Structure 1
């Protein structure tokens, strides 16, 4: 992939872009194996690769500049805006939304937030595109001061972006490196973006988590389901379930599946998918994954964990070690935290693993590991 921003030195987010893609993939797989200590007896499946460009389903654009000439992109070292509307990581349906959104910033007089002076209102525009080309747009504001203007001009944005189905305002008042706040105000009648993954319509709400790379996420869920089917598990938990990607792909007649997620919005989306798809035996709970596990009585045949970058942490890892759970599917976005967690559960040994290149041209990765309890 060629990128003019990278060549000009104005954006170096894709730190590995100068390397051939095949070399990136090989190095990533070798890195993961090294960090995990290259445990004996593990069957490593071939790495799942990505399209090298136009693979991102979401854009987290910092808004800077002026109300009459806004930039959508990143900030430079001095806190000034660098416009990245032509970034080749985004598919056409996503990148085509940027110019209308920039024009909307001007029309609705949404003053970009200036980091050096701490003045202005609009911090970010967050855009997600579905596999069908529908859009969700979130405006991250410091306050609700501009809300009435945004509502007034929203019809013009909907006319400019006919595939826009969900729009919302997120309020983040703090001057801090925090992307979004707790308050979300939905502006459209439709509240979820339908993300078609394999044969399921997952419903993403504004504050719900979804993997950045839809095609690679689909491969991730397929592999997890295949391993669960091969083991003929009758019950499964999906901890940190998000919108239910793993749980809903694991659902089968006669298999009881429980998903646990802290975000009520994500749980509501997972429940909507389960209803629409008439999936039997699925249940979703809003709560803390560790607290749920520690309070449980019986344990399932399989526990799926997909924690944030920091990993499971010692309490949940040690619970898995002593619980008697025969199998764990661990989906990790950080091999270092995965290695730390594995050290706390030595009875659960890796038997299969696969690296998935969810984030081409970076050192970030996803690795799916099947753990089985040693006899």
Structure 2
């Protein structure tokens, strides 16, 4: 894939841009295998490839420029805006929506935030597309000053973007490198974006996290479900469950599934999905994954962990090592953290692994590992 922004040195976020995709995928497999080379018996399943372009289901666009001529994209080193509305890794539905959003900025008189001068209102436009082509828009604002105008012109926006389902305003008043604030104001009747992934419908609330690459996320959940079904455990924990993707894919007759996630918004999303699917055996709770495990009376038969980049950490690794849990499915977005955590759980041996290329054109990838407790 070639990118005019990359070639012009306007954006270098995709550090592998221009390299043949097959070479990228091979290098990622090689990198992960090197990090896990202390496990020579590990079976490597074929890597899951992605589309090279148009794979991103979300766009996080800095808003700069002026009310009359807003720019959606990124900032350069001096804090000036660079338009990225033709970014090739962004989904087509998102790219098609950007001109309408720019027109809405002008129509609603939303002053772009000027970072060097610390003035203005609209900081970011956050846009997500579902597999069905429906959109969720979040406007990150410094204050509520523009809400009256946003509400006034919202009918125009919904008419101009007929696939737009959810619109919200997020308040982030501080001048610092933080994407969003805690307060979210939903401006549409519909409050969740329906994400149909495999045969599961996930409800995504504005402040909930979902994987950037829907097709590869679907493969991730299918692999997790396959490993769970092979074992057919009576009880499963999904720690760092997010909006419940692994937990809902793990549901089965007579199986007790518990999902734990620190974000209350994500848990609200997961519960909405569970209720719509009619899965009484699946329970979700907001809380710290490590604290939940350490306070539990007894472990489940199988644990799924899908932690942030830092990994599960020494406390949860130590608990899993000592818990007697027979199997663990570990989904990692940073293989270095995975390797460190595995070293802290010597009784849980990785038996199968699979690289899933969630982020083409970059060095990042996802890897799933099935761990099984070594016999005594």
Scaled by the length of structure 2, the TM-score of the pair is 0.98
Match of 1:167 in 2: 167
Residue 143 of structure 1: how far off its partner (Å): 1.3
Match of 1:264 in 2: 264
Match of 1:88 in 2: 88
CA deviations 1:41-65 (Å, max 9, x no partner) are 1010011000001111000011111
1:290 equivalent in alignment to 2:304: no
Match of 1:253 in 2: 253
- Checking the alignment, whether the CA contact within 8 Å between 1:238 and 1:260 is kept in structure 2 is yes
Q: Which moved more, 1:2-11 or 1:321-330?
A: 2-11
Residue 34 of structure 1: how far off its partner (Å): 1.3
Name the count of aligned residue pairs.
Answer: 375
1:96 partner SS: helix
1:290-309 matches, within 5 Å, as 290-309=290-309
1:1-375 matches, within 5 Å, as 1-375=1-375
CA deviations 1:188-221 (Å, max 9, x no partner) are 0100000000011100000001000000000000
- Checking the alignment, whether the CA contact within 8 Å between 2:331 and 2:366 is kept in structure 1 is yes
Gaps of 5+ in 2: none
Residue 38 of structure 1: how far off its partner (Å): 4.7
Residue 249 of structure 1: how far off its partner (Å): 0.2
- Checking the alignment, whether the CA contact within 8 Å between 2:3 and 2:18 is kept in structure 1 is no
RMSD of aligned alpha carbons: 1.0
**Rounded Cα–Cα distance in structure 2 between residues aligned with 1:317 and 1:174:** 36
CA deviations 1:319-345 (Å, max 9, x no partner) are 111111111111000011111111211
**Rounded Cα–Cα distance in structure 2 between residues aligned with 1:202 and 1:239:** 17
Residue 77 of structure 1: how far off its partner (Å): 1.3
Scaled by the length of structure 1, the TM-score of the pair is 0.98
2:138 partner SS: strand
Residue 295 of structure 1: how far off its partner (Å): 0.4
Residue 257 of structure 1: how far off its partner (Å): 0.4
- Checking the alignment, whether the CA contact within 8 Å between 1:253 and 1:280 is kept in structure 2 is no
- Checking the alignment, whether the CA contact within 8 Å between 1:252 and 1:280 is kept in structure 2 is no
- Checking the alignment, whether the CA contact within 8 Å between 1:251 and 1:280 is kept in structure 2 is no
Residue 35 of structure 1: how far off its partner (Å): 2.0
**Rounded Cα–Cα distance in structure 2 between residues aligned with 1:91 and 1:341:** 34
1:64 partner SS: strand
Gaps of 5+ in 1: none
- Checking the alignment, whether the CA contact within 8 Å between 1:132 and 1:196 is kept in structure 2 is yes
Residue 18 of structure 1: how far off its partner (Å): 1.8
Decide whether aligned partners of structure 1 residues 38 and 354 sit closer, same or farther in structure 2, where only a CA change above 3 A counts. farther
**Rounded Cα–Cα distance in structure 2 between residues aligned with 1:301 and 1:225:** 15
